[in-house]
Chains A and B, each alone.
Chain A
Amino acid sequence: AQTVTQSQPEMSVQEAETVTLSCTYDTSENNYYLFWYKQPPSRQMILVIRQEAYKQQNATENRFSVNFQKAAKSFSLKISDSQLGDTAMYFCAFMITGGGADGLTFGKGTHLIIQP
């Protein structure tokens, strides 16, 4: 079974600062995807960024980037130039590829607060 651990229940930074959210996971699989989802107060889950395990290059989407360390099973999210609209719950998630169930396994989340 796969597990995803987010060790920071809550983080708070000032607007325009850079913040890093941590995520570690445990799996014996070699082929998988990792994701960061944002859940604002509206509750909708919004995909922030995705990383394929077979790719060594870290994924980047505008102000969002990841530090993927496959050997360490670590997948942190960096948010640069943070904005008030970034305030939300952030969930790290894992998905096996290549057969069988392909549901997502989520961590418990980090509540990120951007202060004005």
Chain B
Amino acid sequence: NAGVMQNPRHLVRRRGQEARLRCSPMKGHSHVYWYRQLPEEGLKFMVYLQKENIIDESGMPKERFSAEFPKEGPSILRIQQVVRGDSAAYFCASRITHHPDYGYTFGSGTRLTVV
């Protein structure tokens, strides 16, 4: 079991470009969560998805950010027209079920640098 796979591990984008971050959850996990970690900060919840559905996007900026988790393939976090303030580590976590007794498994994150 390969765990939660995120790629790329590092991503450099110029201001105004698009960033696409990918997350493949653990096998059998249909619940995916995205978090953002700014320097010297803890992780901040962004969005919660199940297959083909966005369940909660209350932590996602209203503009430029979007997320999807298609029926086939990885979950994608997309940031359009990136700005310097988007520079952060973005983590994906997955769970097998919504039930709180089942814990999260985190990936190793994608570090986005906007230059």
Contacts and interface: CB of A to CB of B under 8 A. Distances in A.
The SS class assigned to the A binding surface is: loop
B30 interface: no
A45 B91 contact: yes
**Most chain A CB neighbours (cut-off 10 Å) among B100, B103, B108:** B100
**Most chain B CB neighbours (cut-off 10 Å) among A33, A43, A47:** A43
Contacts of A46: 106
B44 interface: yes
B108 A106 contact: no
Contacts of A105: 45
Given A45-B93, A45-B106, A97 B100 contact: yes
Interface string B70-81: 000000000000
A6 to B, nearest CB: 8
Q: How large is the interface on A (under 10, 10 to 19, 20 to 34, 35 or more residues)?
A: 20 to 34
A107 B42 contact: yes
Contacts of A100: 56
Interface in B89-110: 89, 91, 93, 98, 100, 103-104, 106-109
B40 interface: yes
B42 A42 contact: no
Interface string A74-116: 0000000000000000010101010011111111110000000
26 contacts: A4-B42, A37-B106, A42-B108, A43-B89, A43-B109, A43-B111, A44-B108, A44-B109, A45-B93, A45-B106, A46-B106, A95-B100, A100-B56, A101-B45, A101-B58, A103-B33, A103-B35, A103-B45, A103-B48, A103-B56, A104-B33, A104-B35, A104-B43, A106-B42, A109-B41, A109-B42
Which 9 A/B pairs are nearest by Cβ-Cβ distance? A106-B42, A103-B45, A45-B106, A101-B56, A97-B100, A44-B108, A106-B43, A43-B109, A108-B42
Given A91-B42, A102-B98, A106-B42, 7 more contacts: A50-B103, A91-B43, A97-B100, A103-B33, A104-B43, A105-B45, A107-B42
